[in-house]
Amino acid sequence: MLQPTRATPAATTHAEPPRPPSARWALAALALSMLLAALGTSIANVALPTLAQEFAASFQAVQWVVLAYLLAVTTLIVGVGRLGDLFGRRGMLLAGIALFTLASIGCGVAPGLGWLIAARAVQGLGAAFLLALSLAFVGEVVPPERTGSAMGLLGSMSALGTALGPSLGGLLVAGPGWRAIFLLQAPLGLLAWWLARRNLPATAARSGAARSGFDLAGTLLLALALAAYALAMTLGRGSFGPLNLALILAAACLAALFVQVERRSPSPLVRLAMFREATLRAGLASSALVSTVIMATMVVGPFYLSRTLALDAVRVGLLLSLGPLVAALTAVPAGRIADRFGASRMTLAGLGAMAAGAAALALLPATLGAPGYLAPIVVVTAGYALFQTANNTTVLSNLAPDQRGFVSGLLNLSRNLGLITGASFMGAVFTLASSTNDLATAPPIAVAMGMRSTFAVAAVLIVVALGVTGRSRPAAASEHLARPEQRMAGFEAVGEELPVGARRAGALVGADIAAVAGGAVGDRREIDPAEAGPGVAVATLVAGRARARAGVDRRRERRKQRAVGRQRFIAPVVQDVEPRIER
């Protein structure tokens, strides 16, 4: 007689689903990527004199060790962000980290200056991937209510890399030698690659038709235009000659040609219609203006501290590192504040702090010494950290997933262009206001006058940024966008079982319903028609019904209260009359 076979545990149990990636370690991978990109920018400057001696080269030649990296980042960051949107951000970020790591090794073993410059350009290409895709990945690894905190962490690591670069580079050049400043980045790159591979979630690539439509012509034209502008702002060591003017004209012509190509392209690199959106336009413009201003602290600070306050080189270096250190320490709390009080409000608060600090520096008497200079600098830097975190959060949190890489590249590009422009423009203002071309030997009073004039211009630029931001992003808008996501959190778990198209449509309709219905039950904020989604008609109907139900409930409650009042009035009379009737 056949006996029924007993099922083995292996046959009756399902395989354990793969463990989801850890958000904490995914953020660690993104933070380390930002640290590497910032170190690559700041660590090489201190080695330029040593490189000039090592390769028997002029300063104009060795400065390309820094320029090659900056040009690669600035010119390619928008294109690589778009590549991440098309081919999947995870794969592109892993490729960028690997490229950065291999280029770091190439820099460390470079036999000549030309090899070193070429390797630095490749390293800058890898850094463009790190900068553009790390910010874009935040929306994939943290929930919307923690976006500000995550942006603050990435900003903190970027500031930390900027602060550590000069001091760490100086120690390595004085110890093992200049090659160590590049070789040190290789093991950090390997660690970042391993963390990213293990913990970053997979991101879907676009369809084959969409990927084949990558705008190569537009990418090359934009890169050439940005390269011409960046070279015009950096070459000449403070002077603006015929070569700089020719480069500016070339940049303008290439930019105009780029716009024409993008208008006719079936799949443009930059969708020009995106710039009609006020939040994106204001975010990019204010980022460029604020970065121009923050560069004034780097241009003016060394001369004011050394010439006007007569501090030695060691103290000047220590005091200059205070700004990036403050930014590193305040970026994470700034992100939490943005999550708590709304990113748009904190964007304005950061700009207000920067304006106050710049105005204080414009009125600063030299008699207050180093403490009098450092106190406003701390205010400016903390405001900058708050602005960057909140501005990035506002711009990136409301984008479709397939646009985050591209817009993240635009944000980084606006910041880099602001820094490049600030180095040239603020330097020119400082030199003109000091009434001398030789700042190294300028009288202390002249340097103090130049510092005050430079920060007066900086304060005006920040007021302009405040006006641009305030008109386009009222504080209520960010709360209106954030709160519906929190109200709809309970529906998202059910929506995960739906097809992707249904989830997207449902999310748009549901967010509108939550936004308008939220106003119906006491959250009296207006819905911006420019931001109304496809569910606004349904949302309005739901809101009207909710208000009607609320009105009925209020009327019922009033009737109950009147009935209770009548009962309280009649009960004593009845109690007094009933005994008499019985008698």
List domains and CATH numbers for the chain. Answer: 21-202 (1.20.1250.20), 275-473 (1.20.1250.20), 480-564 (no CATH)
Q: With a cut of 90, say whether residue 353 has pLDDT above it.
A: yes
Burial class for 337, CB neighbours closer than 10 Å (0-12, 13-18, 19+): buried
463, 466, 471, 473: CA torsion to nearest 10: 180
- Does 555 or 162 have the greater pLDDT score? 162
Cite the beta strand spans of 304-442 per DSSP E: none
353 contact partners, CB below 8 Å, separation of at least 6: 379, 380, 382, 383, 386
518-563 residue pLDDT tens: 443 344 334 444 444 444 444 444 455 555 666 666 666 666 666 6
97-112 residue pLDDT tens: 999 999 999 999 999 8
Q: With a cut of 80, say whether residue 515 has pLDDT above it.
A: no
Q: With a cut of 70, say whether residue 489 has pLDDT above it.
A: no
Angle value at C-alpha 224, between 219 and 230, nearest 5 degrees: 125
Segment 134-142 mean pLDDT: 80
Which pLDDT does position 519 carry in this prediction? 42
DSSP 267: S
Q: Which of 239-253, 260-274, 312-326, 498-512 has the lowest mean pLDDT?
A: 498-512
Q: How confident is the model at residue 188 (pLDDT cuts 50, 70, 90)?
A: very high
Q: Which of 64-78, 115-129, 140-154, 550-564 has the lowest mean pLDDT?
A: 550-564
Q: Are 372 and 364 in contact (CB under 8 A)?
A: yes
Helix/strand/coil (H/E/C) assignment for every residue in 279-308: HHHHHHHHHHHHHHHHHHHHHHHHHHHHHH
**Sign of the dihedral defined by the CA atoms of residues 164, 165, 169, 172, in that order:** positive
User: Which of 173, 203, 210, 159 shows the shortest CA–CA distance to 44?
Assistant: 173
- Does 509 or 472 have the greater pLDDT score? 472
Q: How confident is the model at residue 236 (pLDDT cuts 50, 70, 90)?
A: low
Q: Are 255 and 382 in contact (CB under 8 A)?
A: no
Segment 261-271 mean pLDDT: 82
Q: With a cut of 50, say whether residue 3 has pLDDT above it.
A: no
> Which whole-number Å values give the CA distances from 35 to 6, 23, 30, 91, 575, in the listed order?
57, 18, 9, 20, 83
Give the span between the Cα atoms of 296 and 414, in whole angstroms: 17
Q: Are 129 and 95 in contact (CB under 8 A)?
A: yes
Query: Cα(first)–Cα(last) distance of the chain, in Å?
Result: 94
Tokens for 88?
Answer: 């999947």
Which pLDDT does position 323 carry in this prediction? 78
> Which whole-number Å values give the CA distances from 563 to 84, 569, 573, 574, 577, in the listed order?
67, 10, 16, 16, 21
DSSP 376: H
- Does 272 or 527 have the greater pLDDT score? 272
Mean pLDDT over the full length of the chain: 76
> In 3-state terms, what secondary structure has residue 23?
helix
Find the DSSP H helices in 398-523: 404-434, 444-472, 475-487, 489-495, 500-520
- Does 410 or 534 have the greater pLDDT score? 410
Q: With a cut of 50, say whether residue 510 has pLDDT above it.
A: no
Which pLDDT does position 21 carry in this prediction? 55
58-79 residue pLDDT tens: 777 887 888 889 888 888 888 8
Q: With a cut of 90, say whether residue 187 has pLDDT above it.
A: yes
Which pLDDT does position 507 carry in this prediction? 42
Q: Which of 184-193, 290-299, 351-360, 527-536 has the lowest mean pLDDT?
A: 527-536
Tokens for 314?
Answer: 């060691």
**Sign of the dihedral defined by the CA atoms of residues 240, 241, 245, 248, in that order:** negative
Percent of the chain with pLDDT over 70: 72
Angle value at C-alpha 295, between 289 and 297, nearest 5 degrees: 125
- Does 554 or 116 have the greater pLDDT score? 116
Which pLDDT does position 529 carry in this prediction? 42
Which pLDDT does position 126 carry in this prediction? 92
User: Which of 82, 205, 157, 184 shows the shortest CA–CA distance to 389?
Assistant: 157
Q: With a cut of 60, say whether residue 379 has pLDDT above it.
A: yes
Which pLDDT does position 569 carry in this prediction? 53
Q: With a cut of 70, say whether residue 115 has pLDDT above it.
A: yes
Q: With a cut of 80, say whether residue 113 has pLDDT above it.
A: yes
Tokens for 470?
Answer: 């305030």
Segment 29-47 mean pLDDT: 87
Tokens for 224?
Answer: 């050439």
Which pLDDT does position 218 carry in this prediction? 83
User: Which of 397, 453, 390 shows the shortest CA–CA distance to 425?
Assistant: 453
Which pLDDT does position 227 carry in this prediction? 87
Percent of the chain with pLDDT over 90: 17
Q: Which of 260-269, 421-430, 467-476, 542-551 has the lowest mean pLDDT?
A: 542-551
54 contact partners, CB below 8 Å, separation of at least 6: 178
Give the span between the Cα atoms of 30 and 157, in whole angstroms: 9
Q: Which of 2-11, 83-92, 128-137, 350-359 has the lowest mean pLDDT?
A: 2-11
pTM for this model (two decimals) = 0.67
Which pLDDT does position 566 carry in this prediction? 59
**Sign of the dihedral defined by the CA atoms of residues 436, 438, 444, 447, in that order:** positive
Q: How confident is the model at residue 431 (pLDDT cuts 50, 70, 90)?
A: confident
Q: How confident is the model at residue 472 (pLDDT cuts 50, 70, 90)?
A: low
User: Which of 176, 135, 180, 195 shows the shortest CA–CA distance to 391?
Assistant: 135
Q: Which of 52-56, 193-197, 385-389, 541-545 has the lowest mean pLDDT?
A: 541-545
Give the span between the Cα atoms of 533 and 74, in whole angstroms: 34
Q: Which residue has the tokens 């850094």?
A: 127
Burial class for 526, CB neighbours closer than 10 Å (0-12, 13-18, 19+): exposed
Q: How confident is the model at residue 14 (pLDDT cuts 50, 70, 90)?
A: very low
> In 3-state terms, what secondary structure has residue 8?
coil
Give the span between the Cα atoms of 192 and 199, in whole angstroms: 11
Q: Are 396 and 411 in contact (CB under 8 A)?
A: yes
Give the span between the Cα atoms of 146 and 133, in whole angstroms: 18
DSSP 43: S
